Amino acid sequence: MEYINEIEERVILVGVQVGDEDTQQSLDELEELADTAGAITAGKIIQSREAVHPGTYIGKGKIEEVRSLMLAVDATGIICDDELSPAQMNNLEHELECKVMDRTLLILDIFAKHATTSEGKIQVELAQLRYRSARLVGLRASLSRLGGGIGTRGPGEKKLETDRRLIRKRITALKEELSQVERHRELLRTGRSRGNLKTAAIVGYTNAGKSTLLNALTGSQVLSQDKLFATLDPTTRSLTLEDGQQLLLTDTVGFIRKLPHNLVEAFKSTLEEAKYADYIIHVADVSNPQVELQMHVVYDTLRELGADGKKTITVFNKQDVAGDVTVRDLRADYTVKTSAKTGEGLQELQELLGKLISEELLYVERVFPYQEAGKIQLIRENGQLLSEEYTENGIHVKARVPKEIYHKVI
Ligand SMILES: Nc1nc2c(ncn2[C@@H]2O[C@H](COP(=O)(O)OP(=O)(O)OP(=O)(O)O)[C@@H](O)[C@H]2O)c(=O)[nH]1
Ligand SMILES: [Mg+2]
């Protein structure tokens, strides 16, 4: 669904540099976010400070600088690179008399635009309402300034509440709806694990190529775009490896630095796909100069979700446009260089996946009496039948089986 902007929003991006953070790069990413949300970046201002100004995010002098730049480039609003406190938002709104937004509002807005399933929509609305309920005064002034645009969009272009009492009611209703969807998702998950199939979650920084990889491996058609957060709803597809083994691959929502807390809370069930997976396929975009930092963000987020410590294959993707870079990932069990676009390395990735599965299988060698041939079928369906030989006493089998069925076949 394409959203049509009624008004062109021209924004100034404002960042505060604390210590040796790379605020310039963070603002470049903020510009991409703004672009995805449909705003034009007309300028960028960074203030170096010991800490963010508690009352106004940036200091007095810098506010003046922002004001004159806005006039000079004809900007309609500002976007701050960190989540503003309710007071900071009010004060800035009061000082600058323009639309004041922050990184969180922008990300929420993009999520609102991209959510397609009912679960995604509920989660986004919940995160938006929680964010709003704490900032009603400043936001209401800010958002009514341009009568629409970024920050006012709800899932499915629903009009978002601005009344605190109604917001609270709506939040309660949404939470109830969400817990129903979560129960459903849990049922799906147990259904899958009953089928004994292993699951790998494809995780990574936003825009790393996760959906493209899923599509390339399984021939599916998940939307992939050169936009941030194209995927909000997890998709699971089955993949049959060359040796006939099957596993399930789940494409997941991407991570980003400073991922809004309210989003993580609301999207918990979606993000937890990684937690319930057996393996992690971590896609890193090595053509991005920020790839090392992005990989850190991914590992930190996985840890927060309780999804760390799993067998991990890191995929160094976009080799076709990577140039001559050496990236290493000491936390991964395996690494592989790929291009989801050209297909380079995908064969090797599949072999590694096969290896991960095999590593967990137990070796069985025995002669099955002919009346127990059914057990061989069980092996064929759940494990790897390495050889079978028909002898006088029965069928001589060498195989590898998952521990769940080991006791049934020996
Ligand atoms: N050159 C090149 N481009 C790639 C490769 N893999 C993905 N892309 C492009 O990178 C962009 C993002 O790809 P997606 O698959 O949507 O990335 P994603 O990780 O699913 O992103 P989100 O769902 O938005 O978090 C698209 O324009 C893809 O065509 C690759 O190996 N090489
Ligand atoms: Mg995607």
Residues 213-229: pLDDT tens digits?
999 999 888 888 888 88
Please return the burial class of 290, using the count of CB atoms within 10 Å of its CB with bins 0-12, 13-18 and 19+: middle
- Mean pLDDT of the chain, nearest integer: 89
Question: Which two tokens mark 249?
Answer: 């691959």
Check if 323 has its Cβ closer than 6 Å to any atom of ligand 1.
no
**The pLDDT value given to residue 156:** 67
Check if 229 has its Cβ closer than 6 Å to any atom of ligand 1.
yes
Percent of the chain predicted with pLDDT > 90: 57
Q: Is the ipTM of this complex over 0.90?
A: yes
Check if 209 has its Cβ closer than 6 Å to any atom of ligand 1.
yes
Ligand 1 atom 32, closest CA: 318
Asked if 88 and 82 count as a contact pair (C-beta separation under 8 A), the reply is no
Shortest-distance atom of ligand 1 to CA 214: 15
Of residues 2 and 293, more confidence is placed in: 293
CA angle 365/370/376 to nearest 5° reads 50
Residues 203-216: pLDDT tens digits?
999 999 999 999 99
Q: Who contacts 165 (Cβ-Cβ below 8 Å, separation ≥6)?
A: none
**The pLDDT value given to residue 47:** 96
Shortest-distance atom of ligand 1 to CA 319: 31
User: For 68-72, 85-89, 257-261, 347-351, which range has the lowest pLDDT when averaged over its residues?
Assistant: 257-261
**The pLDDT value given to residue 108:** 93
Check if 226 has its Cβ closer than 6 Å to any atom of ligand 1.
yes
Check if 288 has its Cβ closer than 6 Å to any atom of ligand 1.
no
How far apart CA 387 and CA 396 sit, in angstroms, is 8
Q: Which CATH architecture has domain 9-167?
A: 3-Layer(aba) Sandwich (3.40)
- Cα(199) to ligand 2 centroid in Å equals 18
Q: How confident is the model at residue 146 (pLDDT cuts 50, 70, 90)?
A: low
Residue 293 pLDDT > 80: yes
Ligand 1 atom 25, closest CA: 206
Q: Which ligand is nearest to the CA of 210?
A: 1
Please compute the mean of the pLDDT values over residues 149-173 and round it to a whole number.
80
Residue 406 pLDDT > 80: yes
Check if 208 has its Cβ closer than 6 Å to any atom of ligand 1.
yes
Asked if 227 and 207 count as a contact pair (C-beta separation under 8 A), the reply is yes
- Cα(229) to ligand 2 centroid in Å equals 7
Of residues 339 and 198, more confidence is placed in: 339
- Cα(231) to ligand 1 centroid in Å equals 11
Mean pLDDT is highest, among 221-230, 320-329, 344-353, for: 344-353
Ligand 1 atom 30, closest CA: 318
Domain residue limits, the chain = 9-167, 197-357, 361-409
Residue 180 pLDDT > 90: no
Residue 2 pLDDT > 50: no
Q: What is the CA radius of gyration of the chain?
A: 25
Check if 212 has its Cβ closer than 6 Å to any atom of ligand 1.
yes
- Cα(283) to ligand 1 centroid in Å equals 10
Q: Which ligand is nearest to the CA of 340?
A: 1
Check if 174 has its Cβ closer than 6 Å to any atom of ligand 1.
no
Question: Which two tokens mark 40?
Answer: 């034009």
**The pLDDT value given to residue 235:** 86
Asked if 79 and 39 count as a contact pair (C-beta separation under 8 A), the reply is yes
Instruction: List helix spans (H) across 219-369.
Output: 261-266, 268-271, 273-276, 291-304, 346-359
**The pLDDT value given to residue 268:** 82
For every residue of 168-231, which 3-state class applies, written as one string?
Answer: HHHHHHHHHHHHHHHHHHHHHHHHHHHCCCEEEEEEEECCCCHHHHHHHHHCCCCCCCCCCCCC
Q: How confident is the model at residue 1 (pLDDT cuts 50, 70, 90)?
A: very low
Please give the model's pTM, rounded to 2 decimal places.
0.86
Check if 295 has its Cβ closer than 6 Å to any atom of ligand 1.
no
Shortest-distance atom of ligand 1 to CA 321: 1
Asked if 209 and 301 count as a contact pair (C-beta separation under 8 A), the reply is no
Q: Do domains 9-167 and 197-357 have the same CATH topology?
A: yes
Residue 337 pLDDT > 80: yes
- Cα(79) to ligand 2 centroid in Å equals 25
Ligand 1 atom 27, closest CA: 226
Residues facing 102 on adjacent strands: 80
Shortest-distance atom of ligand 1 to CA 339: 31
Of residues 361 and 45, more confidence is placed in: 45
Please compute the mean of the pLDDT values over residues 33-47 and round it to a whole number.
95
197-357 CATH fold: Rossmann fold (3.40.50)
Provide the residues around ligand 2 (an ion) whose CB is within 5 A.
210-211, 230-231
Question: Which two tokens mark 335?
Answer: 């690494």
Ligand 1 atom 6, closest CA: 209
Residues 244-288: pLDDT tens digits?
788 999 999 999 999 888 888 888 878 888 998 999 999 999 999
Residue 326 pLDDT > 80: yes
Please return the burial class of 145, using the count of CB atoms within 10 Å of its CB with bins 0-12, 13-18 and 19+: middle
Q: How confident is the model at residue 7 (pLDDT cuts 50, 70, 90)?
A: low
Q: Which ligand is nearest to the CA of 344?
A: 1
Ligand 1 atom 11, closest CA: 226
Please compute the mean of the pLDDT values over residues 302-330 and round it to a whole number.
91
Q: How confident is the model at residue 43 (pLDDT cuts 50, 70, 90)?
A: very high
